[in-house]
Amino acid sequence: FCCALGGAIAEPKVINATEPLLLDAVQGKEVERPPVWLMRQAGRYMKAAKENWYSVRCKGIQLEDFVSHSYQILCEKHPSFRERSENVDLVVEISLQPWKVFRPDGVILFSDILTPLSGMNIPFDIVKGKGPIIFDPLGTAADVDQVREFVPEESVPYVGEALTILRKEVNNEAAVLGFVGAPFTLASYVVEGGSSKHFTKIKKLAFSQPKVLHALLQKFATSMAKYIRYQADKGAQAVQIFDSWATELSPADFEEFSLPYLKQIVDSVKQTHPNLPLILYASGSGGLLERLPLTGVDVVSLDWTVDMAEGRRRLGTDVAVQGNVDPGVLFGSKEFITSRINDTVRKAGRRKHILNLGHGIIVGTPEENVAHFFEVAKSIRY
């Protein structure tokens, strides 16, 4: 058990020439086990309190190290989400917390899909207990005109610096993952003014002034393609596109307001970065599965409302598949967690599978169950 957790990381001395397992799996190469990481693995479930250390302790991790790897302690010192996600040292430290403790095969940048907004002239904040807040929600053609195209080098240099450092630290023992928000999901935040239940404002715009929404979606598509390229140039080895709210759209409306922009982003990135794997996640995507590979992405990340074997069939053989384990499973018994992992791996088949949850890890998930998840996942042999 302890060995599976890996112990303390050594300073990287030589650049590891072997490709990370996750990239091999995406390319359809034969791998000995599925790579594994967790969405939202960097974040609030990581208490790293003393009692948690007792459950994941192992040779090489000292209690003091473990406690300093606490996201919650960092939050006390740096209560502003924007500070935590826009300061290079904090971004690197938080991104590496799960890497140091669980050794996942993917290390995702600690950031947010909304991070580019201030560089696009859309002021925002993420407030504890309230979530994302857009101070001046967009609703008119004049508002959309005010949106600036994103220049990552100027607006978010800390993202590039953090990715470059992460790449060196992780040293190809795992893949460094970047991410962006998809145009429709970003548009839903900036039009609704924050999180939403019924998405009435963006639907009002879509269904009464579609041209205005299309103009906004186009700005996001151009900007996010640039942002993906920037992340890849600075060190990201794969980039996940989150279209969390696309499934609020009916399939026909998805085809008008989301799919073309996703496809445009993928086409544009592939022109300059043909080998950069792109992963698409849309929660609640069961009704849209056949349409998702039409975007051209390399990997589709499934939620848990679809059976893995059926999902595979519906997605076709070209695309790799990720996710599908209900995040709630991590609240179950260890035996239950093990059996769900085995079930998912069996149904996904031996090639092109990345083991992951069907959505982000839930705050309050026992860390010892997260440790168990990684331990079982990493001991799998096909």
With contact defined as beta carbons under 8 Å apart, do 272 and 229 qualify? yes
Pick from 31, 39, 216, 249 the residue near ligand CP3 by CB under 6 A. 39
Q: Among residues 78 and 270, whose Cβ is nearest to ligand CP3?
A: 78
Q: How far is CA 66 from CA 5, 36, 47, 100, 361, in A?
A: 12, 22, 10, 9, 20
223-282 residues in contact with ligand CP3 (CB under 6 A) are 242, 244
Q: Is 113 in the site for ligand CP3 (CB under 6 A)?
A: yes
- Residue 275 Cβ vs ligand CP3, minimum distance, rounded to whole Å: 22
Q: How far is CA 204 from CA 26, 210, 213, 331, in A?
A: 39, 9, 10, 39
Q: Is 201 in the site for ligand CP3 (CB under 6 A)?
A: no
Q: How far is CA 299 from CA 26, 27, 198, in A?
A: 7, 10, 29
Query: x/- site string to ligand CP3, residues 275 to 314, per CB under 6 A?
Result: --------x-------------------------------
The residues facing 323 across adjacent strands are 302
Nearest-5° Cα angle at 126, 233 to 43: 65
Q: Is 45 in the site for ligand CP3 (CB under 6 A)?
A: no
Residue 200 neighbours by CB under 8 Å, 6+ apart: none
Q: Among residues 11 and 129, whose Cβ is nearest to ligand CP3?
A: 129
Q: How far is CA 195 from CA 117, 210, 273, in A?
A: 15, 21, 33
Q: Is 186 in the site for ligand CP3 (CB under 6 A)?
A: no
Q: Is 365 in the site for ligand CP3 (CB under 6 A)?
A: no
- Residue 283 Cβ vs ligand CP3, minimum distance, rounded to whole Å: 6
- Residue 107 Cβ vs ligand CP3, minimum distance, rounded to whole Å: 9
Residue 25 and residue 27: Cα distance in Å, rounded? Answer: 5
Residues that bind ligand CP3 (CB under 6 A): 39-44, 81, 108, 110, 112-114, 126, 131-132, 179, 195, 242, 244, 283, 360
